[in-house]
Every structure is written in C-alpha cells, then in structure tokens.
Structure 1
Amino acid sequence: MARVLYVTIPAEGHVNPTLGLVKQLVDNGEEVVYMNVEPFRHRLAQTGAEFRAYPINEQLFVELGLSPTEYTHPHHLTEFVLRGMIEPIIPEVLRLIENDSFDYVIVDSLFGWGGAILGEKLGIPLICSATNFVFDKPVSHVIKMKEADDNLDVEALCERLTDTAERVALACNVAVPTLDDITRQYGQLKVVFTSRYFQPESEKYDDSYIFTGPSISPRPDDPLFPLEQLRSQYNKVVYISMGSILNKDIEFYKLCFEAFKDIPAQFVLACGRDTDLSTLGEDIPHNFMIKPYVPQLDILQRADAFITHAGMNSASEALYYSVPLVAIPLSSDQPAVAQQAEKLGAAITLDKEKLTTEMLKLAVLKVLNTPIYKQRAKMVADSFRSAGGYQEAADRIMSLFSKV
C-alpha cells in the first residue's frame, strides 16, 4: 500500500471534513502522515494517521492585520495565502519531511501555489483537498469584498506580493508564479467535500473533480449536552451558531433574544468559549439554552432550523440532516454558500448590515412553518448521501495512486 502526506491549514472547517477520508485511507491500508498545528494532534491521531506538527507564527497574522471581513481587494486574500500560509509553512513542511518518501500528497486548496510546490518538490501526484466550493478562477477573485478603499496602495501591495513570491520561489527552487496563480486550486484530482447538486455551476467540472458530499464522522471530543431537554417544553428546535467571526457579537445575540422571546420553540445558542453573556442576565429569554460549545451534529439531527453564518462546514452539516437555514453570511465564501442554499430552496438569506428584529423573526417563522424549506433541504441531503462520501473518495484516490 501507499504512503500518503496530507497537509491542511490550521482551521476547524478545513480539518474536520477530512477526518472521515483520512480514517478510511488508513483502514484501507494506506500509511498516512497528517501535518497541521499542535492543537489538532489528538483529533487527527484518532484517525490512525501519524500526526506531525508544523509551527505557525500567530504573531504574523496580527502583524498582517488581515481578516476576511476587511478585504477590499482580491490581492488581500493573496497576501493572506502567500505571506500568512505559504511562506512560513511550506518550507517548514519540506524540512520536516526531508528524509521521508511518499507516493502521493493531499494538500488543502487554500494553500494554493503552496500545494503545487509540495507536489513538484516531492515529485509525486498532487491531490487538492477542497473543503469549500471549487471555482474555475483564482479564489481571490470570488470571495466577498468590502467596499473599495480609496487609500489602498495597490501598487505597493502587488510589489510586496511579488517580492514574497520571488523569495519563496528562490528558497524552494521553483518558478515564480503570477499573482493570480498563487490562489489557484492545484492537483491532478480535486476531492470536493460537497455534491455536484450543491456545487454552483457543477457542469464546468470534469471527472477529475471527485464530489464526495460532506464528510460526516463521529466526534468523540464533543462536550456533553442534555439532548433529552430539547423537546421537553416545545415541539420545535432552532439552533444558532455563527462560527468564529460573529460569535462575539453581543448586539447580535440581543437581537436574537428580542426576536425569539415569544416564539414557542427551544433555541440552542452556541456562543463560543470566549464570549461572556453573563452581563445580559434577565435579557436572556426562558426558551434559550446557551452553551459555549455544543455537540453540533447531535443538535442538528434534532433541529428544525439553523441560524448560521453559512460557513461551508456548518451549512453542509445542517443540510446533511435536512435542516433548512436562516443564513446571515458575513465574509469569504459564506455569501456563495448562502446563495446556493437559497437558490435550491433550502435557505432564507439575510443581510447582516440591514438586519432587524422583525426580519429575523419573520425569517425563522417562515422556515419553521413552510414545509417546502424542509423538503428542499432534504433534496440537498439526498444528494450528499448519494455522492459516495469519504469511502468513494478513498477508493478513487487509491485506484489511481496507491501501490498494490
């Protein structure tokens, strides 16, 4: 069997979808070395893969001052990918594996050109691990941007990127890419953790794109939760989780409390480990259960609606269990995910900048009381389940690249 290197970026939404595939590869006899940052060690070791940590300079992200909510130009994402990810991580990965040999490498799509570097330097087939939608253009050109900043010095930004790309190319002894090529999705195969039905414009993508559906696998590290209480007082359950960007927005939570206080449903709010709602006291309605972190898959299997930022991972998990969305996208690919779910009739999308108590209330009531949303969510769920999952992805990969 083959020896596999799997490298992903240090983010929940890019690691969790890969767990089922990695475990399946291991169970099928592949020897997988998985590289990410130290906090993911225990979770990834449970798949049976050998875990190796690469270092990450968190101060660098502070210095870059980059957040997806602040991008005003496509090359801001290019800078995040190049200076924040490729330059500090890819040479370290190469150093940490310099005495190893592998048969193929799977690299997170957000590494862009960094994945191409690994494939070229190792001289082995490259597979792209796409936990978001795939695009026929550089990712930097498809994410949502803030209104253009008239004070942005685009020439200086491009010069900074060119200098960095030349520096990385020299260090790795590879050709210098164009700026647009830095955020392209590379690989002979692309493993895409969604279905062709949910992927926008899926007719553009040939059979080198393996649409597996989302990888839903058990999470033994999930916290305990009194699931038996979810329907002890109400027949409907609404789950609220806004990911890592919006989960500290106390004003948004106040809006939710006001909008839903009189709705006869059990609301479950995952507010994040670093969000303190204790100051709100009596403002929290009686029909809310609030936890820093919840077993999301368990909650979604019992939910009737999901209020979400429409991150790809969370939205896919909800739709997998036929749960319609009230989507409030903020940045990155979230608007694209929300738009596609709404296009397929499985979501209502709201604008965070124009959000009011009444709008939020009406959207939730419409999703809860209009059966078509549940029916359309089930159509997406059926497409996910028929896509073959991580078992199909593992079989396709191994049929092409494994040693017999």
Structure 2
Amino acid sequence: MSKSDPITISVDAMGGDHGPAVVLAGVAITQQRHPDARFVLFGESDAVLPVLDRHPALKAVSTFHHCDVSIRMDDKPSQALRQGRYRSSMWRAIEAVKTGEAHVAVSAGNTGALMAMAKFCLRTMANIERPAIAAIWPTLRGESIVLDVGATIGADAQQLIDFSMMGGAMARALFRLERPTVGLLNIGVEEVKGQDEIREAGRLLKETEMPGIEYHGFVEGNDLGKGTVDVVVTEGFTGNIALKTAEGTARQIAGYLKAAMTRTWMAKLGYLLAKSAFDRLRDKMDPNKVNGGVFLGLNGIVIKSHGSADAEGVAAAMDLAYAMASDGLLAKIEADLQTFHHRVSDEAAPEPAAPTILPGAAQ
C-alpha cells in the first residue's frame, strides 16, 4: 500500500457493548468527516449487513468480510487467542494491517484479547520489549498524551524511555509539535524521589539530548489535569488507575452539577441562563470526546475504542485512527527509537586507547 493510496481503516464491527449498530453508526460519522477514507469491515454477515444497508454512503466506500467468530467482552485473552485466531472479526481486522489491506485497525472489543492478538499478529518493533497503550487526556491547556494506560504492569528504565520516545512521536504527529515536552509520572518532582527505574530513566533522558522531544523532568498526579507537559509517561498499572480515576471523577462532577442545577426553581433558572457554558463543560468532561487508545510499539497501528462508547465516541476513535495513519506515526516512532539507541550506544562506547610505544622504537 503506497502513501498515495487513500487511508483505509479496518474495523472489528462486532466489538463493544452495543455491537454493529453503534460501531457502524460511528464509522458512518467518520466517513462524512473524511470522504476520502475507505473501510474494511469484519463481522458476522447476519448482524452487520442489515445495519450497513442503512448507511448507503458508508457501504459505497466499504468492503465487507464475513467472520464465523466474534470475541466476547468477557473472554480471557488466552481463550480468545486460541479460539479466535484466524477466524474472528478482531483477528482479521488486525491482520488486514499486517497484509497491507488497511493502514490501521480499530476495535471496541475486549482490551486484553485485542492486545494479545495484536502482539501475536503484528509483533513488536525492533528493540521494543513491551507495547504501550497511549490515551489522549483533556487538560486545562488543551490535550496531552498519557502512556501506558494498561498494556503492561511494571516497567524498567529502558521501557519507560521507549514509552517516552513513542509518546513523543505520537504528540508530534497528533499535535503538530516539533519538540513535545515529556515528563515521567512520579511521587514528586525532586530527582531523589521515586523508584530506581524511574530515576534511572530520568537520568538517561536528561543526559541524552533528543531532537524529537524535550525532557521536562518528573511530574506529579496533579500535573495531568494542568497539562504541564505534552506527554506523561508511566507504567500500565499506575496509568490505568489514573485513567479510570479521571473518568470516574468527571462523571462524579457531572452528577453533582446535575443534582445542584435541578434542586430548586432558582437553580433551574440559573442553569437555563448559563446553559451554553454548562454544555461546553459537559463536552470537555465527556470521555467520548477523547475516545481511543493507541497501541504503540507494534509493527502496525491498532486503536482501542471504549466498549461502552456511543456513535460519537466510536467516531472519535475512527478519527484518531485516520489521523495516526495520515501522519506516518510508525515511521516517526521507528526514527526516534533508532536515533535514541544510536546516541546511547555512541556515548557508552569507550574512547580508543592511545597506541603503546615500546622502548627503543622509532618515534
């Protein structure tokens, strides 16, 4: 598939809590936003084709492949990989990226199964031991990227550095930044704080000047919402808890506001007078607006949509897939990783020894 080809997105139409009806409605929204895009749809024909008939514009730019197996949201990754390899809509959507039929794959299905299949099918990039899931995080300054938010538990210094390189490449592609700022999530900003692997990763990032990122230093949990840096790097256990906490807090605040605005007739009047402001706040806090986790570190791009996402949420994930494929994310990641490893190797290489001059030898 050449760079001049239209962006093609492969879609697991059976993924998510709501199935093809919501998934295809979201794909149809993206098709309207990006008329040049093409789609390869995978799923059970009895479930997908009747829904696809209701979206004629999408149908005209799509290819459909019937699949016998659909991965359930409660399937264990090992079970899904064993039973769904080669035959499921999830596997075949990923495989379309490997074969070059599509530039990027999107699924709202089981996260563990999707990661297991993506790693098995696409394999990790050279020098990458573990992939990461990168999420877009709304902040007071706009948006940041946070990774890893659930692909791995624990990470050593080298893996945190790899995450930094991959997150920086994604920020350059998505935010059009020449040198995005990168921070390591820690319990304090002082260099003496934190676990050994975090302090070692910080030392190496500080000492190795990289053209693609600007290392900021350590950041704390409250910096996530502030937007202190463009990319926040952590390991998957901490990142996933932070993500779920932020989403839960957003819903909690929304619930508080709704209860407060409907308590009395004066409150209802105040809500009506400030409705546009509350609508903007609701949109800013809506997880659907920034839906889509990018699997980084694989030989191909895979996007994970929230399983509970509505059509607009699915469209947000599809739009992200389009942007990542259009901006050459894989090439940026490979170039950054190669540059970093070369620089570290050069700095670690010993100085050539001075020649030994034997007594009596000509000088």
TM-score normalized by the length of structure 1: 0.33
Larger Rg: 2
Greater RCO, 1 or 2 (C-alpha within 8 Å, sep 6+):
2
TM-score normalized by the length of structure 2: 0.36
